[in-house]
Amino acid sequence: MEHGNQKGATLLRVMQPPELRGSQSGCSSKSGNGKSGCGSAAGQGDLSPELWEKVKNHPCYSEEAHHHFARMHVAVAPACNIQCNYCNRKYDCSNESRPGVVSERLTPEQAARKTLAVASAIPQMTVLGIAGPGDPLANPEKTFKTFELVSRTAPDIKLCLSTNGLMLPDYVDRIQALNIDHVTITINMIDPVVGARIYPWIYFEKKRYEGVEAARILSERQLLGLEMLTARGILCKVNSVMIPGINDSHLAAVNKAVKARGAFLHNIMPLISAPEHGTVFGLSGQRGPSAQELKQLQDSCEGEMNMMRHCRQCRADAVGLLGEDRSAEFTTEKVMEMEVSYDLERRQSYQQKVELQRDAVVAARKSELETLAGKHSSISILIAVATKGGGRINEHFGHAKEFQVYEVSTSGAKFVGHRRVDNYCQGGYAEEDSLETVVRAINDCVAVFVARIGGCPRKGLERAGIEPVDRFALEYIEQSAIAYFREYLERVQSGEITHSPRGDAEIRQGALIA
Ligand code: SF4
């Protein structure tokens, strides 16, 4: 059966709109310091002013912004129109952080009130996203009503939508009319044979499709929707779930296809799969990738386009900085009791202060990088960092729920991922088991930067060959990483230490977030 959208896809094989041209390739090759990473990672670089305005305080579209600005999701979209083998929306646990999980579902009116409540309490919250727990475009009226209400009362908040793409071509005009200028599409394949192993069925135009035919329709609709959005200048991010043995070797082709259609950012995420989640993949024992498998794939695609590496695969009701979740502070019951006063001026002045902090981080990194000028080495190392945000090393080892991982070389320091862990300190006492899970999570790192660390974990880390470093407490992360790397190189050159590649690390799934 031929779908109307096939013809449309041919007609709409468009290039990026002029205002975005140049920014795609440019930002993937240069950062603000001209050294490493992508434009979205580190400063304006060569992004156009218009594009920079769209991404600069968006925590998902700019790695740098994610240290300073927060986002929130509202769970107004319960229904879904496709089945993915990695998803089970029935599963709900307040300790669980992964897409599709929510504690309560909201009406558009409740969602709008919650957004104002969060905007009042967290002035650095700049983005409202609708990402489920089902598919926002399988619940179009609830989704668009929520955006309408919020855009009327809180015009400075950026609106984001995350979709599987099946219904996207039908709603592109409405998305544009509502000024939703960040859209995420989950695209796990462009080959329906691969897709049939990920999607058992879809429900489209009042009919259920299965297998290869279902995947073919889904893929066509996703790519058409992406082309239509980028033709209108709407910024698009593509999420892909890396599923070893199923689509891992296929994702490079997906990367090329979405880049050709004007996607701004590609976010390759690890499969979250455990039997207790009750998903098809969880129950069949399908594994997720290791940290190094994920990094290698992301690295191999990086020359092609901007890669997002700081995604936390958030719950559909997450609130706060990425890596923290304050949703429990904003339950419907609490929000109804809160005094909500949306104060645009206060929000703007707070955000200006955040911008100044951010400028200071960039300036510190730049000046530290100058100390590496003229040094050449093939050595690069990974460093894990305990941080509460603000771009500083400001978290106690025992309180860290995740470590941010930076790759450092003579080119500079680049954020390459994060690793969730269970708190080492739980209820005030140390757990040896927790230390083992932390070591497994950061086993590929040569050092861990912390604000403070106790004697026991310090010794345990040293035994595992990971150097605990607290002398940069409260300092800027990237500046400190570059300083550490310079000393590391000197120690290698003097023969004091030997540099050898570290092992692989485990991506911890379902770790505590509360
Ligand atoms: S799931 Fe990823 S892209 Fe979405 S809000 Fe969380 S970090 Fe951002």
Nearest CA to ligand 1 atom 6: 314
CA 480 – ligand 1 centroid, Å: 27
CA 312 – ligand 1 centroid, Å: 6
Q: Which of 10-19, 105-114, 430-439 has the lowest mean pLDDT?
A: 10-19
Nearest CA to ligand 1 atom 7: 311
CA 272 – ligand 1 centroid, Å: 15
Can you give the pTM of this predicted structure? 0.85
Q: Would the CB of 185 count as within 6 Å of ligand 1?
A: no
Share of the chain above pLDDT 90, in %: 64
Tokens at residue 280, please? Answer: 């098809």
Ligand 1 atom at minimal distance to the Cα of residue 313: 1
pLDDT at 200 over 50: yes
Nearest Cα residue to 159 out of 145, 139, 170? 145
CA 463 – ligand 1 centroid, Å: 35
Q: Would the CB of 98 count as within 6 Å of ligand 1?
A: no
pLDDT at 21 over 80: no
Q: Would the CB of 125 count as within 6 Å of ligand 1?
A: no
118 against 28, higher pLDDT: 118
CA 184 – ligand 1 centroid, Å: 9
Q: Would the CB of 311 count as within 6 Å of ligand 1?
A: yes
CA 486 – ligand 1 centroid, Å: 33
Nearest CA to ligand 1 atom 8: 60
At 406, which helix (H) or strand (E)? Answer: strand 402-409
At 248, which helix (H) or strand (E)? Answer: none
Nearest Cα residue to 312 out of 454, 439, 129, 151? 129
- Sign for the CA dihedral angle at 45, 395, 462, 436 comes to negative
Q: Say how far apart CA 105 and CA 453 lie, in whole Å.
A: 40
Q: Would the CB of 272 count as within 6 Å of ligand 1?
A: no
What average pLDDT score do residues 441-448 get?
A: 96
Q: Which of 55-59, 115-119, 310-314, 452-456 has the lowest mean pLDDT?
A: 310-314
Q: Would the CB of 60 count as within 6 Å of ligand 1?
A: yes
Under the banding of pLDDT at 50, 70 and 90, the label for residue 73 is: very high
pLDDT at 32 over 50: no
What average pLDDT score do residues 163-178 get?
A: 97
Q: Which of 24-33, 150-159, 194-203 has the lowest mean pLDDT?
A: 24-33
**3-class DSSP string for 456-480:** HHHHHHHHCCCEEECCCCCCEHHHH
Mean pLDDT of the chain: 85
Ligand 1 atom at minimal distance to the Cα of residue 237: 3
Q: Would the CB of 186 count as within 6 Å of ligand 1?
A: no
CA 318 – ligand 1 centroid, Å: 9
CA 126 – ligand 1 centroid, Å: 13
Pocket test for ligand 1, best of 183, 308, 314 (most atoms within 8 A of CB): 314
Ranges 43-57, 76-90, 227-241, 311-325, most confident: 227-241
What average pLDDT score do residues 285-309 get?
A: 91
Residue 194: what pLDDT?
98
Q: Say how far apart CA 85 and CA 171 lie, in whole Å.
A: 26
Dump the DSSP string for 348-377. HHHHHHHHHHHHHHHHHHHHHHHTTTT---
CA 99 – ligand 1 centroid, Å: 9
Residue 432: what pLDDT?
62
Q: Would the CB of 445 count as within 6 Å of ligand 1?
A: no
pLDDT at 129 over 50: yes
Q: Would the CB of 161 count as within 6 Å of ligand 1?
A: no
Q: Which of 33-37, 71-75, 211-215 has the lowest mean pLDDT?
A: 33-37
Residue 171: what pLDDT?
98
Ligand 1 atom at minimal distance to the Cα of residue 312: 7
Under the banding of pLDDT at 50, 70 and 90, the label for residue 429 is: very low
Q: Say how far apart CA 346 and CA 198 lie, in whole Å.
A: 46
